[in-house]
Amino acid sequence: MPVAIITGASRGLGLALTAGLAEAGWQLVVDARGAGELAAAVAELGVGRVVAVPGDVTDAAHRHALVAAADRLGGLDLLVNNAGILGPSPQPPLAAYPLGALREVYEVNVVAPLALIQLALPLLRARRGAVVNITSDAAVEPYPGWGGYGSAKAAIEQASRVLAAEEPALRVWWVDPGDLRTRMHQEAFPGADISDRPLPATVVPAFRRLLGDAPPSGRVRLTDLLTGAGR
């Protein structure tokens, strides 16, 4: 059975992807900062082999534990860097953005995913696997107030492009899932009604299609796959 690591898997998109891949027969190593929340989420799945490794992706020892858990399952076919943080809520303009908070946004959304990729590369190369870095339209659109989060996602997108050029035997996709009804999206719009946004589970078929079709490395919008528009 193929093996994947999915970070930030206790809720939202990460949990939806975990459920979708577990149902498809994948073995999974998943993490989240909250041990209790992660254990409850995994217990509710009731399907597949899912190894929960609670911890913070910014912690080097935790990243080593994730890769070691995948190795014990037989290797690694897919790394999904989904864990991330929004930053301050409501989001401030760049002119007033707290620099300490900006450093944390970059540490979680850029540095930690790259550090995990570095550790996972030997296993991924052995299986000619794939890396998925979850991104956002905020990486390519100049939305006022999204300078911190958006620039961090732009950075991980450029890192993904370079990684794809440096590792041609792997698939590297930077995946925009679209606006979803998640806690992070609610934090971005405090007090707003986001009930019109689709649930994360709605994009899982598109993600599974991505893995099945295995197109060349590049930027992927899951909504395009859902509508048949392609990449």
Q: Any idea how long the chain is? A: 231
Catalytic hit among 97, 106, 143, 149: 149
- Name the superfamily (CATH) of residues 3-227: NAD(P)-binding Rossmann-like Domain (3.40.50.720)
Pairs from 86-90 (Cβ < 8 Å, separation ≥ 24): 86/149, 86/184, 86/187, 86/188, 87/148, 87/149, 88/148, 89/187, 89/188, 89/190, 90/145, 90/190
**What count of other Cβ atoms lies within 10 Å of the Cβ of residue 195?**
6
Q: What is the identity of the amino acid at 231? A: R
Task: Compute the half-sphere exposure of residue 62: CA atoms within 13 Å on the CB side of its CA.
Answer: 18
Domain ranges for the chain: 3-227
Asked about 149 being catalytic, the answer comes back as yes
pLDDT digits 0-9 by tens, 172-216: 999 999 898 888 888 888 999 989 999 999 999 999 999 999 999
Q: What is the pTM of this model?
A: 0.95
Q: What is the pLDDT of residues 55-109, one digit of tens each?
A: 999 999 999 999 999 999 999 999 999 999 999 999 999 999 999 999 999 999 9
Please name the helix (run of DSSP H) or strand (run of DSSP E) that holds residue 96, with its range, or none.
Answer: none
Buried b or exposed e, range 168-188, using 16+ CB within 10 angstroms: eebbbbbbbbbbbbbebbbeb
